[in-house]
Amino acid sequence: MPITNYPDYMQPAGKAGQLSSYQDYTADTYAVEGKVPFGAAVQLNGSGTAIKPISTGGTVIGIALAQSIHDYVEKKDDQNYPVGEPAAIVKRGRIFVVAGGDVINGQAVKVDPATQKFVASGASVIDVSSAVFKSNATPDQLVEIEINLP
């Protein structure tokens, strides 16, 4: 039976790092070396034992999956993985991220290490191999991407 009413099964896009489809996604677990916001592109540290947010010259190994609900009452800084905690990193599937500029469905995905936002082009951006935008967006909007990393 096909799914005809997605709100019955999936939450609407609410935050970066949220899955946009439950169909066939893969996530690996890594230790966190530097605080990683949900929905951020990550890279391995020098020894390959932990992850940190992407920086200039890095290689994207995945996107940080959102895990917890935000505490709006106390306005806690809880939309990230703290140092030393295990982090779920999406390597394959569809996930929401924050756009850093105008993007169009089908464009290749890149990430700006200075802003940690996802763009289609720009100076000093890092390519997210095997990833495309699956929706249109303007700066600072949530946008769906499909990623397919080994």
**Under CATH, which architecture does the 6-148 domain have?**
Beta Barrel (2.40)
> Exposure string (b/e) for 7-42, b if CB count within 10 Å is 16 or more?
eeeeeeeeebbbbbbeeebebeebebbeebbbbbbb
Segments making up each domain of the chain, as ranges: 6-148
The pLDDT profile of the chain, 150 residues, written as one tens digit per residue, is 555 665 566 666 677 888 887 788 899 999 999 999 999 999 999 999 999 999 999 999 999 998 866 555 556 666 788 898 999 999 999 999 999 999 999 999 999 999 999 999 988 999 999 999 999 999 999 999 999 998
For residues 68 and 82, give the distance between their C-alpha atoms in angstroms, rounded to a whole number: 12
